Amino acid sequence: MKEPLYDVTIIGGGPAGMFAAFYAGLHELKTQLIEALPQLGGQVRALYPEKQIWDVAGKPGVTGEQLIADLEEQLAIVDIDQSLETTVAEVEQTNDGFLIKTNQGQSQTKAVVIALGNGAFSPRPLAVNGVEQVDPQRIHYFVQHKADFAHQRVAVLGGGNSAMDMAMMLEPVAEQVYLVHRRDQFRGLPMTLSRLKESTVQLRTPYLPREISQAADGTLTLQLKKMRSDDETTLNVDHVLVNYGFTANNAALSDWSLDLATDRHLIRVDSTMATSVPGVYAIGDGNTYPGKAPLIATGLGEGPIAINALAKKLYPDKRMATHSSSLKINR
């Protein structure tokens, strides 16, 4: 049986892949979007659906869940094929394009847009004495529902933007939020930092968690050691939210036979998002070029660049409409 033939296959349904798929559909390219998880939205929906996002154009504060719901609504305007719970295991170069092999089957495509983020992601675990003896339900790495933390004492561990965001997100519902960081300085947006300083979040810096234990009533005790000192202190809380960043697993990518130029596991691209393999483009968190900022806004912008570039190569005689107002929208 002949496999379906697409103009473009977008691999990865995070915000970058979703918007690229919409844009390709809008320009009437035969498009498929493939996502490994059972849902679209990438890191935004999986890791921080209830966090407020402030730095997406035209959205003066939006939750992760709402942003992805809006992208889904936009995607529904166009006619493209979507495959969820489908992991791309191999992208093989053929005479006329590429063969996409997944755990569900295979298809052919003339061009590929890789939008894998950093690949399958998992949080860096809390590695302190006693952690194995503590009820795992009280150690968290994501916040799916703020309500789970209502009227609870929560220690957020970490010093990056997302640790500050998590602390600020829980502040209105929790009884008390503590932010524990091993440095006095936080790495984050100045606006987040000043909102944090005005909030009721109590800072415990520069402290490093050394040990954790749990009392019979479920309360957790964190043993904190002051950096460059012998001082120790304890913190009693109901939940710990660990925010030490994520390790990304790009194993899928390195298993593919495509000979992509990379820089520290990120795919090198030029100003059209083209990779070292003709016909293959990379957008979103998974690519790199001088000045790259791994943000939602950046990934959303890179999709149209890649789609315009590949459409010009596939259909050099076809004039692509520059503005969406010149296109036929089914609405």
The binding site for ligand FAD (CB under 6 A) comprises 11-17, 34-37, 42-44, 47-48, 53, 55, 87-88, 115-117, 119-120, 162, 165, 246, 252, 284-285, 294-297, 299
Least Å from the CB of residue 9 to ligand FAD: 10
Least Å from the CB of residue 215 to ligand FAD: 30
Owner of token pair 């103009």: 7
Least Å from the CB of residue 1 to ligand FAD: 23
Least Å from the CB of residue 277 to ligand FAD: 17
Q: Which residues pair with residue 177 across a beta bridge?
A: 154
Closest-CA residue to 222 (of 295, 155, 302): 155
Q: Which is nearer to ligand FAD, 39 or 324 (CB)?
A: 39
Q: Which is nearer to ligand FAD, 102 or 223 (CB)?
A: 102
Q: Which is nearer to ligand FAD, 114 or 222 (CB)?
A: 114
**Are 279 and 112 a contacting pair, CB within 8 Å?**
yes
Q: Which is nearer to ligand FAD, 11 or 29 (CB)?
A: 11
Q: Which is nearer to ligand FAD, 13 or 206 (CB)?
A: 13
Helices (H), the chain: 15-26, 42-47, 64-75, 161-170, 190-198, 251-255, 296-314
- Reported in sequence order, the residue ranges of 227-268 that DSSP labels E, i.e. its strands, are 232-237, 239-242, 246-249, 262-263, 266-268
Q: Output the DSSP codes for 61-72.
A: SEEHHHHHHHHH
Least Å from the CB of residue 317 to ligand FAD: 32
